[in-house]
């Protein structure tokens, strides 16, 4: 028996047959009494049922959040920081349960949810708990008698619409700064992944004052518009695709409120010839850096889905890359040895297969994969083999976000050519550059039009580094303490200590 | 014969007809990347402000179908069939069919040379 066979899948957490909306600190059934089945992409089985809410439920949630805000806005920084640390502690105490729930809900491999998703969730709450203790507003002495104070005040009730690729982490990215800044939240999880966030609420509900966080599940067509246009909602944070992003901005104009949009990407990952100057630890890291297109089954808005490889190293580098891709172990996402799990839904799997078909029709050369994976552990799950195409940057598979484990590879000869290809995209979310030449790294990291450039690394998401897009990848930033200002007003208090009139009238 | 860019399956016609009954006139906009992207979004006409530079690819069941100008650059060689699938897993888009457990999808194929040469707008 091999070592791998000895590792058993992790036990599934016990789930209720049915979950409710979480409104005003209580579990409330949807007004219309309707529910949807929550289907796991791991095996196509029903996990539980969740509310299929309507406008009435959004009204209840916004009303509960507005009520809670009346007292929450007056909480001290110390109180909110302590609360966020308790949230982090509660999640940490339930790390494995939440990680397995996330795997069941989304399909991603449990080794990722255990090592990345949930630990990052915990860290985001701790980060925002700490930064609000160490920051302060600004004061300027404008003249000997006039003082200008810039103080911050929360916006009020904010709406947050969460994607399905990192349900818990994207919720944390939005919840932590919003709560740290003193807002109350109405959050809509994504349709395919409603469950893990509800389990999260079970874990943290005791720590949060009633009404500060409200969760409403339901179809975007029923509840999205009413939430985003609600006159009592003071900001909308959205992560998802471009047309809904445009719609969110359009809705935000109705009430003159800000919106933060984190949309798609088609991130270039650039490999310069110097990476092969030695066959050492760094070269090994660079190979992994390319293979990270398969991280989270490729369902990442910053997926390094375009690899740009210098022509001079293409053959030997790709040989090593393909060996590494062949070694990606597919299987039961709940088994800690499985390296790549399921795609999030049947429709997503079909969409990826459609792009694989388009790639082949466009004349791209399929180097590995290129088809669905029949998973013996779960024949009814949604699995795709990690796939690499070689082609050119004008092909659709190089320009459109596939949101799956499909990498499009092309080559370049000069730095200028590499930069031209890298920036020839509608998007500007992530980018990677790999080289042993410090000057080249600096040149590329500044010249690439993207909100996050990973230099000699990829797919790291520390809370203390800002994240967001250029071009059609969105507006606004997430993570980093600068995010606090997108969840609060700046109020200027201008005080005169001069007793004399201006003299105009 | 002029080549059409769009086709629609019977399954999609059935759902578009149903959505029209419930919502009135509709429009479609092909979405770009991320989670529920690369799919047609269906809205009540007037509900979505169609960007003035978007390109109209054609009509399905009397509903205008748009795509952004930059995305069109990469779609212009593709014939698109609008299909509709069951979607019991939901979505985070606001597209109307998600409320009735459906999802519109675009199925693409590359035009033949003859087809491409007979397009009205290339």
Instruction: Please identify which of the residues A102, A112, A262, A478 carries the catalytic annotation.
Output: A262
The pLDDT value given to residue A1: 44
Task: Kindly report the nearest CA distance between residue A208 and chain B, in angstroms.
Answer: 26
Binary contact (B47, A225; C-beta < 8 A): yes
Task: Kindly report the nearest CA distance between residue B51 and chain A, in angstroms.
Answer: 9
Task: Kindly report the nearest CA distance between residue B81 and chain A, in angstroms.
Answer: 12
Q: Is residue B1 pLDDT above 90, yes or no?
A: no
Task: Kindly report the nearest CA distance between residue A235 and chain B, in angstroms.
Answer: 18
Nearest by CB: B35 against A164, A225, A399: A164
Average pLDDT, chain B: 91
Pick the residue from chain A with its C-alpha nearest to B47. A247
Catalytic site includes residue A301: yes
For residue A8, the tally of other CB atoms under 10 A from its CB is 11
- Please, what's the b/e burial string for A241-250 (b: 16 or more CB within 10 A of its CB; e: otherwise)? bbbbbbbbbb
Binary contact (A162, B97; C-beta < 8 A): no
Give residues 344 to 363 of A whose Cβ lies within 8 Å of B: 344-347, 350-351, 354-355, 357-358, 361-362
Task: Kindly report the nearest CA distance between residue A320 and chain B, in angstroms.
Answer: 29
Per CB-CB distance under 8 Å, the chain A contacts of B90 are: 36, 190-192, 194, 219
- For residue range B8-50, list pLDDT tens digits in order: 999 999 999 999 999 999 999 999 877 777 889 999 999 999 9
Task: Kindly report the nearest CA distance between residue B12 and chain A, in angstroms.
Answer: 15
Q: Is residue B90 pLDDT above 80, yes or no?
A: no
β partners of residue B83: B105
Question: Rounded distance, CA A475 to CA A259, Å?
Answer: 8
Instruction: Please identify which of the residues A102, A299, A301, A401 carries the catalytic annotation.
Output: A301
Binary contact (A396, B31; C-beta < 8 A): no
pLDDT grade for B75, boundaries at 50, 70 and 90: confident
User: To probe the interface with B, which of A160, A191, A228, A261 has the most B CB atoms within 10 Å?
Assistant: A191
Tokens 């959040």 — which residue? A65
Nearest by CB: A190 against B30, B92, B108: B92
Nearest by CB: B37 against A161, A241, A357: A241
Pick the residue from chain B with its C-alpha nearest to A471. B70
Per CB-CB distance under 8 Å, the chain A contacts of B39 are: 241, 351
In angstroms, how far is CA B100 from the centroid of its own chain? 18
Token reading at B121? 């707008």
Binary contact (A165, B35; C-beta < 8 A): yes
Pick the residue from chain B with its C-alpha nearest to A189. B92
Chain B contact present for A299, CB below 8 A: yes
Catalytic site includes residue A262: yes
Per CB-CB distance under 8 Å, the chain B contacts of A39 are: 88-89
The pLDDT value given to residue A381: 96
> Can you give the pTM of this predicted structure?
0.96
Per CB-CB distance under 8 Å, the chain A contacts of B112 are: none
The pLDDT value given to residue A5: 57
**DSSP codes joined into one string, A435-504:** -S-HHHHHHHHHHS-SSEEEES--S---TTS-EE-EETTEESEESSGGGGGGGEEEEEEEEE---S--S-
State the 10-residue block means of pLDDT for chain A, 505 residues long: 69 95 98 96 97 97 98 98 98 97 97 97 98 95 97 98 97 98 98 96 97 96 95 97 93 96 96 98 98 97 98 98 98 97 94 94 97 97 98 95 97 98 97 98 98 98 97 95 96 98 96
Nearest by CB: B90 against A165, A192, A265: A192
- For residue range A245-261, list pLDDT tens digits in order: 999 999 999 999 999 99
Nearest by CB: A354 against B77, B101, B107: B107
Which residues does A177 contact at the CB level (< 8 Å), separation at least 6?
A128, A478, A483, A484, A486, A487
User: Given CA atoms A201, A206, A209, A210 in this order, what sign does their dihedral have?
Assistant: positive
Pick the residue from chain B with its C-alpha nearest to A473. B33
Binary contact (A358, B49; C-beta < 8 A): no
Chain B contact present for A174, CB below 8 A: no
Binary contact (A472, B107; C-beta < 8 A): no
Q: Which of A404, A292, A320, A325 is nearest to A359 (CA)?
A: A404
Question: Rounded distance, CA A229 to CA A235, Å?
Answer: 10
Q: Which of A327, A348, A329, A268 is nearest to A106 (CA)?
A: A348
Strand order in the sheet with A138-143: A138-143, A146-154, A488-496
Nearest by CB: B33 against A36, A264, A358: A264
Q: Specify the DSSP class assigned to residue A116.
A: I
The pLDDT value given to residue A85: 98
Question: Rounded distance, CA A29 to CA A368, Å?
Answer: 48
User: Is this prediction's ipTM beyond 0.90?
Assistant: yes
Pick the residue from chain A with its C-alpha nearest to B103. A347
Chain B contact present for A165, CB below 8 A: yes
**How are beta strands A427-428 and A430-434 bridged, if at all?**
unpaired
Chain B contact present for A187, CB below 8 A: no
Cβ pair A294, A446 in contact under 8 A: no
The three-point CA angle A75-A77-A78 to 5° equals 100
Q: Which class for A381: exposed (0-12), middle (13-18), buried (19 or more C-beta within 10 A)?
A: buried
């Amino acid at each position: 028996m091999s070592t791998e066979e000895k590792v058993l899948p992790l036990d599934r957490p016990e789930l209720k047959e049915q979950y409710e909306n979480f409104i005003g600190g209580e579990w409330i059934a949807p007004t219309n009494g309707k529910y949807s089945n929550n289907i796991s992409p791991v095996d196509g089985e029903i996990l539980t049922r969740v509310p299929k809410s309507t406008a009435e439920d959004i009204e209840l949630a916004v009303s509960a959040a507005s009520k809670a805000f009346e007292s929450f806005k007056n909480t001290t920084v110390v109180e909110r920081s302590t609360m966020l640390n308790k949230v982090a502690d509660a999640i940490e105490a339930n790390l494995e349960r939440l990680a397995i729930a996330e795997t069941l809900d989304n399909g991603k491999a449990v080794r990722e949810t255990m090592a990345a998703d949930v630990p990052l969730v915990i860290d985001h709450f701790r980060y925002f708990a700490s930064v609000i203790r160490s920051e302060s507003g600004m004061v300027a002495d404008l003249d000997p008698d006039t003082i200008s104070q810039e103080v911050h005040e929360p916006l009020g009730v904010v709406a947050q619409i969460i994607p399905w690729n990192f349900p818990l982490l994207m919720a944390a990215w939005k919840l932590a700064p919003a709560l740290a800044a003193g807002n109350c939240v109405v959050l809509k999880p994504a349709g395919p992944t409603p469950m893990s966030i509800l389990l999260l609420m079970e874990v943290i509900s005791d720590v949060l004052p009633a009404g500060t966080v409200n969760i409403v599940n339901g179809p975007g067509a029923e509840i999205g518009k009413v939430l985003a246009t609600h006159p009592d909602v003071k900001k909308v944070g959205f992560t998802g695709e471009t047309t809904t992003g445009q719609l969110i901005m359009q809705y935000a104009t109705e009430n003159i409120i800000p919106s933060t949009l984190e949309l798609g990407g088609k991130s270039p990952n650039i490999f310069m010839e110097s990476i092969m100057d030695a066959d050492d630890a760094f070269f090994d890291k660079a190979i992994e850096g390319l293979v990270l297109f398969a991280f989270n089954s490729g369902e990442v808005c910053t997926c390094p889905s375009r690899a740009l490889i210098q022509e001079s190293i293409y053959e030997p580098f790709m040989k090593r890359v393909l060996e590494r891709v062949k070694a990606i172990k597919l299987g039961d996402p709940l088994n800690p040895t499985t390296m790549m799990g399921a795609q999030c839904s049947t429709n997503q799997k079909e969409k990826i297969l459609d792009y694989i078909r388009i790639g082949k029709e466009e004349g791209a050369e399929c180097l590995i994969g290129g088809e669905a994976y029949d998973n013996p552990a779960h024949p009814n799950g949604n699995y795709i083999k990690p796939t690499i195409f070689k082609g050119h940057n004008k092909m659709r598979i190089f320009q459109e976000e596939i949101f799956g484990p499909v990498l499009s590879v092309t080559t370049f000869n000069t730095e200028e050519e590499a930069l031209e290809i890298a920036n020839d995209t509608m998007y500007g979310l992530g980018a990677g550059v790999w080289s042993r030449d410090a000057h080249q790294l600096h040149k590329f990291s500044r010249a690439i039009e993207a909100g996050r450039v990973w230099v000699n690394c990829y797919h790291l998401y520390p809370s203390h580094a800002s994240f967001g897009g250029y071009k059609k990848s969105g507006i606004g930033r997430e993570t980093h303490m600068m995010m606090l200002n997108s969840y609060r007003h700046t109020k200027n208090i201008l005080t005169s200590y001069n007793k004399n009139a201006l003299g105009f009238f | 014969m002029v080549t059409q860019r769009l086709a629609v399956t019977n399954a999609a016609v059935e759902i578009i007809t149903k959505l029209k009954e419930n919502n009135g006139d509709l429009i479609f906009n092909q979405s770009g990347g991320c989670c529920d992207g690369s799919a047609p979004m269906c809205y009540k006409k007037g509900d979505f402000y169609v960007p003035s530079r978007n390109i109209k690819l054609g009509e399905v069941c009397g509903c205008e179908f748009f795509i952004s100008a930059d995305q069109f650059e990469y779609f212009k060689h593709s014939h698109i069939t609008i299909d509709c699938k069951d979607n019991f897993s939901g979505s985070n888009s606001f597209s109307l069919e998600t409320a009735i457990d459906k999802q519109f999808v675009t199925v693409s194929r590359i035009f033949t040379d003859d087809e491409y040469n007979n397009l009205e707008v290339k």
